[in-house]
Amino acid sequence: MRDSNFARSVVFMAAHNAKDGAFGYILNRPLDQCVSDLLPDQDLGALGDVPVFLGGPVSTDKLAFAALHWNKRRRTLRCQTHLSVPDALHALSLGHDVRGFVGYSGWSGGQLESELEVRSWITTTARPLVLTVEKPTQMWSAILKDMGPVYQVMAGMPEDVSLN
């Protein structure tokens, strides 16, 4: 994807319907801030230490909370979105990976399907390393490397291949 909003991004698709569109969060764009930096006048307890990410280019004036949890038995990533402060605190107490997101990624009905048809996106099922990668900024290449040899080559390519 050449769009600077999505180049080398890892998007968790939280909701999708061909008629109504799609909604998700970019998981690998940390803002190097925590919730307490954005809401300094509020007593948020443990939620104040939660990292904040750029979730996408839509509604970047809003802060939202989501909880991510890997289900080992089903081998799926669960994402609870639009959490209230009490809900986010509860998810933290359960050991879930709670993140703050400024903005989100959204597509109108049929838009994502059109982008997939012309292969604008590399798609894969969620992987546990989404939650375990040491640095979120390395998530894109880590996922590609985990997908196999062809994608490993892509993971090592420079952002601007014309400079190679």
- Rounded mean pLDDT, 22-45: 95
CATH value of 11-128 in 3.40.1740.10, 3.90.1300.10, 3.40.449.10, 3.40.50.1970: 3.40.1740.10
Provide the percentage of residues in the chain whose pLDDT is more than 70.
Answer: 98
* Domain boundaries along the sequence of the chain: 11-128
CA distances in angstroms from 30 to 9, 73, 75, 133, 137, listed in the order given? 11, 29, 25, 13, 7
Residue with tokens 């402060």: 85
- Rounded mean pLDDT, 41-58: 95
**Whose CA is closest to 58, among 33, 23, 84, 82?**
23
Whole-model pTM?
Answer: 0.91
The 10s digit of each residue's pLDDT in 51-74 is 999 999 999 999 999 999 999 899
Q: What is the per-residue pLDDT for 156?
A: 87
Which residues, at least 6 apart from 9, have a Cβ–Cβ distance to it below 8 Å? 1, 26, 28, 29, 140
Residues 70 and 12: beta-carbon distance below 8 Å: no
